[in-house]
Amino acid sequence: MHIDNEIKLDFKDVLIRPKRSTLSSRSKVDLVRPFKFLHSKIEYSGVPIIAANMDTTGTFEMAHALGKHDLSVALHKYYAAEDYVEFFKKLKVKSNAFYSLGIGSSDLKKFEEVMEKAPGAIQYVCIDVANGYTETFVSFVSSFRKKFPDLVIMAGNVVTGDMTEELILAGADIVKVGIGPGSVCTTRKMTGVGYPQLSATIECADAAHGLGGLICADGGCTRPGDIAKAFGAGADFVMLGGMFAGHEESGGEVIQKDGKKLRAFYGMSSKSAMDKYAGGVARYRAAEGKTVYLEDRGSVEGTVQDILGGVRSACTYVGAKRLKELTKRTTFVRVTQQLNEIFGKS
Ligand code: 5GP
């Protein structure tokens, strides 16, 4: 038995230390990043924030709303093939939407059908499994890369440098990082498995960048400051579920309770999701996600402004003119307290 005694950190354990800067206004900060992907060689230019491929955030409506600000959406995988065909045929900026799939044969079949009916329309793909450590997953990524050399492949999830490298070598352009940090995830509770997200981001980014690959920090951001910390830690992309949930553009059942409008938000491995898509929780497994009801947050527009404003301001505090410079200019300080909550937790 081995214990790694080095302390691993989460967003809540650190703050970003301010630095001297010549920047006079946050409006001068450029959040658009250019990338050229390692395998597909495609050139990307956008704000590298992605709504999660959950059916309550990865919707067509969300893609339209976030696309206006150059952000992206990883679509959930439960639309009908013809709906994807229609959506992708009309999509102008390809990086606004990732097509998501798991590694099951029905997911692949649906993807190939959409590719056939909308040739050239999809450029960005997210191959997503809860546990990216299996050989089956790595060989799926590798054969997918052989079949589709020109697509941008994001694949995950993993939380360690060794597996990040393995996925990049197998053909991933972007490795998705995060096991257990999600707002509606119960993996850590049910399995005891996980890795603090800030450290996972730092370690996986280091491994990926060494090979010319990129990472997407997925899960655990609860406020704009956490997104700034994820970028500061080396994330090239950041994926958000909970922060984009509960809006008009999110999917999810709407209910009225005590005169309030609430929207359901649940993990993709929760009982709610499995009841909806898999005819219930299979006997051999336990649900690893939960369901919450969020007060309606209106249009996602306001949330996008908050997020972009927060990240821009973080850049100004450390003197980063461009998002690209944020990592270089970030020094984290370990803290025992984040916020003064004397007047409440919001
Ligand atoms: P959030 O931004 O809400 O903290 O995290 C979003 C991420 O949580 C998703 O992108 C996905 O990786 C993860 N996630 C979504 N549903 C589930 C689930 O049911 N179980 C687990 N373990 N993770 C989930």
For residues 176 and 140, give the distance between their C-alpha atoms in angstroms, rounded to a whole number.
Answer: 15
Residues 6+ away with beta carbon under 8 Å from 208: 164, 165, 168, 175, 214, 215, 236
As for ligand 1, residues whose beta carbon falls within 6 Å of it are 52, 54, 130, 157, 178, 182-185, 187, 218-221, 239-243, 267-270, 288-289
User: In Å, how far are 25, 224, 251, 260, 268 from 58, measured between CA atoms?
Assistant: 33, 19, 8, 24, 11
* 204 assigned to active site: no
CA distance 77 to 128: 10
**Span 158-211, pLDDT tens digits:** 999 999 999 999 999 999 999 999 999 999 999 999 999 999 999 999 999 999
What does the buried/exposed string (b/e) look like for 243-275 if buried means 16 or more CB atoms within 10 Å of the residue's CB? bbbbbebbbbeeeeeeeeebbbbbbbbbbbbbe
Q: Determine which one of 56, 59, 126, 185 is catalytic.
A: 185
Low-confidence ranges of the chain (pLDDT < 50): none
pTM of the model: 0.98
CA of 241 to the centre of ligand 1 (A): 7
Q: What tens digit of pLDDT does each residue of 210-219 get? A: 999 999 999 9
Rounded to whole angstroms, how far apart are CA atoms 130 and 132?
6
Based on the residue annotation, tell me whether 187 is a catalytic residue of this protein.
Answer: yes
CA distance 240 to 71: 11
